[in-house]
Amino acid sequence: MNLINCKNLQMHGITVQNSPKLTVYISQSNGVILNNLKVLNPKWGQNTDGIDISGSRNVLVYNCTVDVGDDGICMKSSSKKDDDSVQLENIIIAKNTVFNAHGGFSIGSNTDGGMNNIFVTDCTFDGTDIGVRVKSNEGIGGKVSNIYIENLTMRNIVNEAISLSSTYENRQVGRTPDNNVKGEKIPEYFNFYFKNIVCTNAETAVDLSGLANSPIHDLFFENVKLTANRGFLAENAKNIMMKNTQINSEGNLFKLKNAENVIYNGKVVK
């Protein structure tokens, strides 16, 4: 289902199954409610995203169930020529359940149109590859800010409970990541708020991978409890504040590289 330029659209009680590609795709729309949808694809289905919201405003995704082969509920934003406004904003993702997926809640990889004011709450991610997944790279990156994520339950997470990457590997063949790029459309993630989140088991608790000249910055964690084999990884990041946060890992709790002002329950991590 590819729905473009819609206004005041409501979809309720629909099952969409076995799509060959992106399953429910909302683009350039305003005033959309997706309620009680079931989106079901085989876990081996490449690019079979569940629900994608692209370049839209004022969208509610509520009480949906997603079990797919790629990202579960994903935000996308591509820039328009001669238009500097934020292309995706005012989004609420609430009371959804995601099973098999590359990411339970995802952002990217196209973020060059900008994203602002996204609220994710009361969701369950069970068996997803990554719980919260933010991904982009040079050439398709932009500002992503004011992201509020709270009241999440995550379990059986294959890789990271929370992952923010500015060096996403979905790039042209033969290109390699450059952690000090200076071109246009560079990812910048800031003002992310994580609150009341529990992950009972994952491979990695948190993995932040920014760029040297565009570090991930101003992330806030409160009442967060993550249990994983590996702890908190951060490269090219700064101003990470954790309050009443518990990270349980088998190895080192923190592994930092070019990371500044990382504070864990009142103590600076070095």
pLDDT digits (tens, 9 = 90+) for 121-134: 999 999 999 999 99
DSSP 72: S
pLDDT digits (tens, 9 = 90+) for 198-242: 999 999 999 999 999 999 999 999 999 999 999 999 999 999 999
State the pTM of this model: 0.94
The conformational region for residue 36 under phi > 0 = left, psi -120 to 50 = alpha, else beta, is left
pLDDT digits (tens, 9 = 90+) for 156-213: 999 999 999 999 985 444 445 544 555 679 999 999 999 999 999 999 999 999 999 9
Quick one: which of 30, 45, 39 has its CA closest to 1?
39
E strand intervals along 210-264: 216-249, 254-264
β-pairing, 115-126 vs 267-268, is: unpaired
Are 14 and 40 a contacting pair, CB within 8 Å? no
How far apart (Å, rounded) are the C-alpha atoms in residues 177 and 164? 15
Tokens of 213: 């000249």
